[in-house]
Structure 1
Amino acid sequence: MSQPPQPPQQPQPPQQPPNEPPSGEPSGPASTPPAGGFGAPQDPPPGGFGAPVPPPADPFGKQPPSGPPVPPAGGYGVPPHPGAYPTPPAPQPNGYGYGYPQAPQPGYGYPQGPPGQPSATHQGYGYPTQPAHPRYGGPQPDGGGGRKLGAQARIIIAAAVAVVLIIGAGVIYASSGDDGTRGAEASSAGTTGSGNKGGEGGGLDGGEEEAPVNARSKVAFQLPQPEVDDVTSVAGSWLTDKAYVKTGVDEIVAHDLDKGTKLWSVPLAGEVCAASRHMSADYRTAILFEESKPTKQKKYPSCNQVGVVDLNTGKLLWSKSVTAATGGDEPIRFEEVTLSGGTVAAGGTRGGAAFRLEDGAELWKPKVGTDGCYDLGYAGGEALAVVRKCGSYDDPKLSIQALDPATGAPLSSYRMPPGVAYASIVSTKPLVAAADVGDTAGDGSAVSDFFSIDAATGKLIVRISADAEKYAARCGSTDVERCRYAVVGGNRLYLPTESHDGTGEYGDTNEIVAFDLTTGKLLGGRADAGDRYNLLPLRMDGTNVIAYKEPPYDKGGQVVSVDGRSFEQTLLMENPGDRSVREAETRFSTDHSELLYSDGRFFLSKEMISERRDSQADEKLYLALAYRTD
């Protein structure tokens, strides 16, 4: 196979992945923009964007000092609808297309099946793209009969065969409804949500976000990265109708949506170690933070403070610690926190506790039952659910329970199958869990199967196999609400495929497919990222999905709305392709960043930051980057 053409103005060695930047620049070619950077930050210091940050050795777990570890589930608050709690985000290596025939038929990137297939919304993810698999290709026909065809005849026949294979692959994909599923069967597939326009302003069918007259964006502002001397969590970002709120070092800060100017800040006793993805209808959210700042005597303070922040007024409404119900004066350390209705629930390896959102009154305390069972962690949003762990370390027994948010009493319980050491909850309404059964995923994703559960009875509706070589969802193993790039809506589970060869001469891509949560069947239709892009859903918008198209190294990213029925994509935003701007965008690794989009504004921000490296001495590093359309 001949070498692919070189990208314009960017010489590229043949051995590099097609959509990676040139050698020596792991996160995009280094460049120093004019003094002051770009966009409209307040008092911007001179200098360009930070030096490229290499990806972590472990693409999902803890990172080395130069690439901080992954905090709780990605994607934080977006403006909620009254009485609802948004479930925002939430990585993509290599693999084959689900439902496509094996070699020698062509793989992904070929035309879709016939129109009119059932459709879905979706969620994807942004792990660094791996080298694509080689394309399949059989020998050229020679006409038979011991007589070789001329060059022109061979070309004509080869083209005809390719067309047949392409059409065949598309038809097979569109009709493959049973692949990779296990469990109960039903006579009909789930239905999609209403296609009515959302809101009063002529939003897209099925959602409230509106397509702008001009989708080309500009940088609204950038927030400088604070200087730290150790790996520091800055997990948490939310959007209200007035502000972009972002966790800083030992504080939470609100910024003007258009200018980035500081509106208010909430100082905290110590570092924020976890933050809820959810907000109440009046913009309150829950956080965990350390009891103090590090000292020589206590370098690693305990993360034992639970608090609620009013994102409208910039006030810490309450904060407290809690001891175990079984006795002892030592405050319990928590690892994750969530919010559902009027309940704040915090979980950890010593059990879970819950508090009333309004005033912090204790609803229940950490305890271990006489059978050795305890609440490992909670998932919130429209309902409250828990992963409850029993048994020994060598023989764990896990249950997924729907809870009464006011009392913590289980409403139903489903026992996970043997061989499950950890489990995550993708959605609480409907109730969908994920687990790596028997450590069979083999790729560090912590997902081999999804479980659709009847929250009222605790009975399994269907178990869906998610072959790690085909699908790219990731969960956080020990963190219950840590799943990314798997989203639930309209009785469907939307998963991204692994990245693979595209149709162009170079560059890879991926798709989003959907499973029915009643039958477990793979539904027809898909959303294609397009050559050299990878599709990363951010959140549901009614029956549509707001998704980020992670760009190749020489272009800006895009935000699209994907129709939940037809998979038709509407461009909401296209970021600048100027070198300095696109390099800054791609340095926010999508598997270790928070991405929020709402009403023509798009925000990328760090989840963890670390000490400035020597190679970054003269670089300007950013905590967050904001785009907007006119």
Structure 2
Amino acid sequence: MTQPPPPPPNQPPQQPGFGAPAGPPQPPVPPAPQPGYGYPQQPAAPQPGYGHPHQPPQPAQPGYGYPAQPPAANPYTQQPPAPTPANPYAQQPGYGYPGGPPGSPAPVPTPAPAPTPGRNNATLFIVVAAVVVIALIVGGGIWYSKSSGADGRKDDTAGSSAGGTGGEGGGKGSEKVPADPASRILFQVPLPTANDTTVTAGSWLTDKVYAKTGVARIVGYDPDSGAKLWTVPLPGPVCYATGHTSADGRTAVVFQPKMPPKGSTAGCTQVAAIDLNAGKRLWTQTIKSGDVPINFNNVTVAQQTVAVGGTSGGAAFALASGKVRWQPKPTDTCYDAGYGGGAKLVAVRRCGSGDTAQLHIQTIDPVSGKVISEYEMTSGIAYASVVSTDPLVVAADVNDSAGDGSGFSDVFSIDNRTGRLRTRISTPGSSYAARCDGIYQLEKCQGVVVGNDRLYLATEEHDGGADHTKTNEIVAFDLATGKQTGQRADAGDNYTITPLRMDGPNVIAYKDPPYDKGVRIVSIDGGSFSETKLLENPATAAVRAVETTMSPASAEVLYSQGHLYLSAVYAHAAGSSVSAKEYLVTAFGAGG
């Protein structure tokens, strides 16, 4: 295989041993796909937004629109409901699960030593030929925090990013409301075949092009017609991609140096910058430990810096030239496991291993690597995801309390400049539907976005207002106080709603429909929480078949200016058993 096979569905992810990555690490696998409200819904797997896959899409499950039990009262009012011992919808690919005791007060942060300058990353280890996998261990113990950083230090300036989950909302949204939101299929790209299951992570949209990763290539398409504009060939498959792009349309990927034989891997050692508007690879870089190239587990772009991280440490390059800005140092006992990008650059730095491991959340200068502020998480929180870099929001599975591999039990709102904890929000998995990959792609989260200094979070499914229906909501939390604002966007009976990204002060959301309707894209006003329909797909069998296999839980979803792009994150070998024709990309356009 070009990637190691994913673990069985509904199992917590496995991970590479400290200092011993070998092949491309296999991302964690969400629960098996489940049906939607009133019709089959999304298969579980990788994530949307800029999308980074973790499991090949699974066949759709039987319809779910006619449950026998009567609806219960809607528990999702202005305050989060009390968690239950077991999530009644645990089989669904929930997005975000509890951490510390629900409702527990946030601990008072205490000062810590000033952060060390520079990027002294992990002790280097020889990269072995096979992935050494150990079970994910998250230690127990009492939660506490330390913070450090100097007030008045010069912060890094805001940069440009496209897509993603983070970012401060403000001003007016840029999305125009189409005169007719009814959509049609603009174009479809057939799913390519490969020697084995192969990652096709990465999709981007600029003013000039829609670009998508294929098998060992990235292709640019006309956003309206799907005409092929350019192809950037790669020697091997893409392992990881970031959804962030610079203002001039540049992004980055990590890929294998060659096409590996079936059942093997060539390692995720190559880092490249791609000019999406010009359709060319700008440069390719590797970092070595002795004579052995280091494997990287994630990639991001912040301003004019490409940053990559992994269990051998992190490195950074100038986006335009590929010049090395920092790299792992053999004398360091900690390592940068990964980075969050976009407006700012945030490192998730890991010190120690097992139950004694400690994570340091550092806002760093994207050019020099100098630490601007640092927040120390308690020992026993082994992995964390960066939901947003500005404002800084981090999600983690505290004491393994999520229990389902979602990586999401608690949210930490942190001051970028001082490193102090603003508030901690408990997000019980029985109530909220968010999922983050804190192991490999640290900024890849579903069901949660940040803007207006608020956290917008999808709730878990529950009984709807009418008999035999299901529904959910998006609710908002204040990142200064940790309390719900009282804002709530109801999906409606037999719809489920998932936030995709911010549009200025507004939330762009995806509504998965019942069997006799098409997907909707809506804009939720950041103040009134009123909903405006931007696009609605036709309710034909062919379109619903695409939507069922390309939901936000299993595919990459991009929406902009009346255009919706759904794309697959895996290709598979020819002759694989499939129930219908599969597509790499399906693009929809509003306006009939």
- TM-score between both structures, scaled by the size of structure 1: 0.70
What secondary structure sits across from 1:394 in the alignment? helix
1:233 aligns with 2:199: yes
Question: Deviation of residue 62 (structure 1)?
Answer: 3.3
Question: Deviation of residue 418 (structure 1)?
Answer: 2.9
Question: Deviation of residue 227 (structure 1)?
Answer: 1.3
Q: Distance in 2 between matches of 1:68 and 1:499?
A: 16
Give the alignment partner of residue 541 of structure 1, picking from 491, 503, 514. 503
CA contact (8 A) 2:364 2:373 kept: yes
Q: Which residue of 2 aligns with 1:302?
A: 267
Superposition pairs for residues 85-484 of structure 1, below 5 Å? 107-108=73-74, 129=92, 180=103, 182-183=105-106, 206-295=172-261, 299-324=264-289, 328-367=290-329, 369-370=331-332, 372-479=333-440, 480-484=442-446
Q: More displaced, 593-602 or 60-69?
A: 60-69
What do the CA deviations read for 1:323-376 (whole angstroms, capped 9, x no partner)? Answer: 14xxx1111111110000111000111100000011000000123554x21111
- Unaligned runs of 5+ residues in structure 2 are 1-7, 14-27, 34-41, 52-69, 79-88, 95-101, 109-169
Question: Deviation of residue 317 (structure 1)?
Answer: 0.6
CA contact (8 A) 2:385 2:438 kept: yes
What secondary structure sits across from 1:438 in the alignment? helix
Indicate the structure with greater strand content.
2
- Unaligned runs of 5+ residues in structure 1 are 1-54, 78-103, 114-125, 132-178, 186-203
Q: Which residue of 1 aligns with 2:49?
A: 75
Give the alignment partner of residue 624 of structure 1, picking from 581, 585, 591. 585
What secondary structure sits across from 2:573 in the alignment? coil
What secondary structure sits across from 1:524 in the alignment? strand
CA contact (8 A) 1:59 1:127 kept: no
AA aligned to 1:508 is: K
CA contact (8 A) 2:437 2:444 kept: yes
AA aligned to 1:287 is: V
Give the alignment partner of residue 511 of structure 1, picking from 468, 473, 479. 473
What do the CA deviations read for 1:4-35 (whole angstroms, capped 9, x no partner)? Answer: xxxxxxxxxxxxxxxxxxxxxxxxxxxxxxxx
AA aligned to 1:182 is: P
Question: Deviation of residue 467 (structure 1)?
Answer: 1.0
Q: Distance in 2 between matches of 1:598 and 1:451?
A: 30
What do the CA deviations read for 1:173-202 (whole angstroms, capped 9, x no partner)? Answer: xxxxxx8363279xxxxxxxxxxxxxxxxx
Q: More displaced, 586-595 or 568-577?
A: 586-595
Question: Deviation of residue 69 (structure 1)?
Answer: 9.1
Seen in structure 2, the aligned counterparts of structure 1 residues 581 and 106 have a Cα distance that, compared at 3 Å, is closer
Q: Which residue of 2 aligns with 1:487?
A: 449
CA contact (8 A) 1:70 1:608 kept: no
Question: Deviation of residue 64 (structure 1)?
Answer: 11
Seen in structure 2, the aligned counterparts of structure 1 residues 440 and 350 have a Cα distance that, compared at 3 Å, is same
Give the alignment partner of residue 528 of structure 1, picking from 490, 508, 517. 490
1:598 aligns with 2:560: yes
AA aligned to 2:103 is: G
What do the CA deviations read for 1:188-246 (whole angstroms, capped 9, x no partner)? Answer: xxxxxxxxxxxxxxxx9931111111111001111100012311000000111122110
Question: Deviation of residue 615 (structure 1)?
Answer: 4.0
Question: Deviation of residue 312 (structure 1)?
Answer: 0.5
Q: Distance in 1 between matches of 2:556 and 2:250?
A: 19
RMSD (Å), alpha carbons: 3.0
Q: More displaced, 593-602 or 56-65?
A: 56-65
Seen in structure 2, the aligned counterparts of structure 1 residues 613 and 517 have a Cα distance that, compared at 3 Å, is same
AA aligned to 1:503 is: G
Q: Distance in 2 between matches of 1:487 and 1:184?
A: 24
Q: Distance in 2 between matches of 1:262 and 1:251?
A: 13
Q: Distance in 2 between matches of 1:434 and 1:76?
A: 18
AA aligned to 1:303 is: C
CA contact (8 A) 2:43 2:553 kept: no
Seen in structure 2, the aligned counterparts of structure 1 residues 491 and 68 have a Cα distance that, compared at 3 Å, is closer
Q: Distance in 2 between matches of 1:456 and 1:556?
A: 44
Q: Larger Rg: 1 or 2?
A: 1
What secondary structure sits across from 2:487 in the alignment? coil
Seen in structure 2, the aligned counterparts of structure 1 residues 227 and 614 have a Cα distance that, compared at 3 Å, is closer
Question: Deviation of residue 269 (structure 1)?
Answer: 0.9
Q: Which residue of 1 aligns with 2:122?
A: none
What secondary structure sits across from 2:218 in the alignment? strand
Q: Distance in 1 between matches of 2:44 and 2:457?
A: 24
What do the CA deviations read for 1:536-556 (whole angstroms, capped 9, x no partner)? Answer: 111110000111101123321
AA aligned to 2:422 is: I
Q: Which residue of 1 aligns with 2:569?
A: 607
What secondary structure sits across from 2:288 in the alignment? coil
AA aligned to 2:286 is: S
What secondary structure sits across from 1:451 in the alignment? strand
Q: Distance in 1 between matches of 2:104 and 2:484?
A: 8
AA aligned to 1:603 is: Y
Seen in structure 2, the aligned counterparts of structure 1 residues 56 and 260 have a Cα distance that, compared at 3 Å, is farther
What do the CA deviations read for 1:516-541 (whole angstroms, capped 9, x no partner)? Answer: 11111111120000111111111110
Seen in structure 2, the aligned counterparts of structure 1 residues 107 and 180 have a Cα distance that, compared at 3 Å, is farther
Q: What is the aligned length?
A: 467
Q: Which residue of 1 aligns with 2:39?
A: none
CA contact (8 A) 2:217 2:234 kept: yes
AA aligned to 2:268 is: C
Give the alignment partner of residue 62 of structure 1, picking from 29, 35, 42. 29
Q: Distance in 1 between matches of 2:380 and 2:391?
A: 24
Q: Distance in 2 between matches of 1:528 and 1:65?
A: 25
Q: Distance in 1 between matches of 2:103 and 2:529?
A: 22
CA contact (8 A) 2:566 2:586 kept: yes
Seen in structure 2, the aligned counterparts of structure 1 residues 538 and 565 have a Cα distance that, compared at 3 Å, is same
Q: Distance in 2 between matches of 1:453 and 1:622?
A: 41
CA contact (8 A) 1:288 1:303 kept: yes
